[in-house]
Amino acid sequence: MKQQHALNLLVLLQFSFFTFITTYANVTFNTASIEKLVQEGKVHVQIKGLGGHSEECVSFTLSNRTSDSLFGYVEPGRRLISDNSKEQDILIVKALDFALAANESKTVNGFGFCCQSNNSGPGVESGFSLGKMTDDNWQTLAQKVNEGDYPPSAIQNAVWVLSDGHDIRSIPAFGDVNTQGLRQSVADMLGIEIPWYSFLYAEDSTRIFSGVANRLFAEVVYSVPRRTMMSGQIHDENGNLVYNFKSYHTSKGEHKYNIDVALDNFPEGEYTFTLLEDFGIMNLQKKFRLGEEV
């Protein structure tokens, strides 16, 4: 008898669980943008800096002013406006979902990057307004970052290319397919050809972005018909040899030649990178320019 009772109870529990799942499987919570919730007076928000200018660099203190639960989100592509005109605004690039119980307050961190490279970085407790949604290109970039996985330096420089007109060569691509895709997307937005090389920039303790390119990086694909000694060279626009890369043997087939060269002693102008087989046969040539991209 006890066994039958236990069996009946188990069947009842299974039926109840099945009924709950089938009844609520398609239920969705009503979610709203943070801007809508604030405009309707349902949520009060206070936004402060966390002492940085990238990744989790701002906090949102959210207060539910209603007697109901609320579900909301901060959208990728929202530009938070700094209260201090000398400090950077922040572009949110990762969606931030939140849930608030009735009359609940909580603090959550937002993921974003500065979008005014000539301004100083926000400090701890720097204030921001909720700002506004940005234009189409910015939103497209933010959504791509939201859905992808990219190095912070690539995201930051991609933001600056759109927000401050930085050179697209500042977006680093070191054989990372994802980062190359990000850089290509920005090039497509701007309607320009993607360069075959990238720059790294000198650090400057007085500002976030120095604007001084001090290293050139690239990955060049080449092929050879046999075992060959490969040599890389750089010539200036007058044909003068200005840099020799270390030579090495490689096997028959397709390979990648990695370029990493300091630019400290390179004046502005056009240069040619040449890859030679056995010190005399030209395998390929590529040009690059130091200074403003043309």
| pLDDT tens-digit map of 134-157 | 999 999 999 999 999 999 999 999
On average, the pLDDT of the chain sits at: 88
Sign of CA dihedral 75, 77, 82, 88: positive
Whether 98 and 242 map to the same domain: the answer is no
What does the pLDDT read at residue 29? Answer: 56
- Residue 188 sits in the same domain as residue 229: no
The domain that holds 254 is classified in CATH as 2.60.40.2560
The vertex-15 CA angle with 10 and 20, nearest 5°, equals 125
Q: Are residues 45 and 150 in the same domain?
A: yes
Predicted pLDDT of residue 14: 45
Confidence check: pLDDT of 17 > 50: no
Same domain for 184 and 270? no
Q: Could you write out the DSSP letters of every residue in 31-50?
A: EEEHHHHHHTTSEEEEEEEE
* Same-domain pairing of 45 and 171: yes
- Identify whether 74 is part of a domain: yes
Is residue 26 very low, low, confident or very high in pLDDT (cuts 50, 70, 90)? very low
- Please check whether residues 197 and 251 belong to one and the same domain: no
* Domain assignment present for 196: yes
pLDDT score, position 204:
77
For the stretch 160-176, pLDDT in tens is: 999 999 999 999 877 67
| Residues 157, 222 share a domain | no
The whole-number pLDDT of residue 19 equals: 39
Q: Is 3 within the bounds of a domain?
A: no
Residue 10 has pLDDT above 70, yes or no: no
Average pLDDT on 200-210 reads 82
Answer whether 0.85 is exceeded by the pTM. no
Instruction: Please indicate, yes or no, whether residues 217 and 270 belong to a single structural domain of this protein.
Output: yes
154 shares a domain with 253:
no
**Residue 45 resides in a domain:** yes
Q: In the prediction, which pLDDT does 81 show?
A: 97
Quick one: pLDDT at residue 13?
41
Which residue range is the domain that position 77 belongs to? 31-201
pLDDT of residue 7: 46
- The reply to whether 161 and 90 lie within a common domain is yes
Kindly indicate the confidence band of residue 16, based on its pLDDT and cuts at 50, 70 and 90.
Answer: very low
pLDDT at 73 over 70: yes
Residues in the chain, overall count:
294
Instruction: State which of 145, 166, 201 marks the end of a domain.
Output: 201
Compare 7 and 214 and report the one with higher pLDDT.
214
Question: Is the domain of 167 the same as that of 239?
Answer: no
How many angstroms separate the first and last alpha carbons of the chain? 89
Judge if 217 and 120 occupy the same domain: no
pLDDT for the residue numbered 211? 81
**Residue 10 domain flag:** no
Average pLDDT estimate for 2-22: 42
| 283 part of a folded domain | yes
Q: For residue 27, what pLDDT is reported? A: 36
Quick one: average pLDDT of 114-122? 91
Number of domains in the chain: 2
Looking at residues 87-107, what average pLDDT do you find?
96
Spatial distance between the Cα atoms of 187 and 173, rounded to a whole number of angstroms = 13
End position of a domain, from candidates 201, 236, 257: 201
Q: Is residue 18 part of a domain?
A: no
- Decide which of 201, 231, 253 is a domain's last residue: 201
Residue 7 placed within a domain: no
155, 93 Cβ separation under 8 angstroms: yes
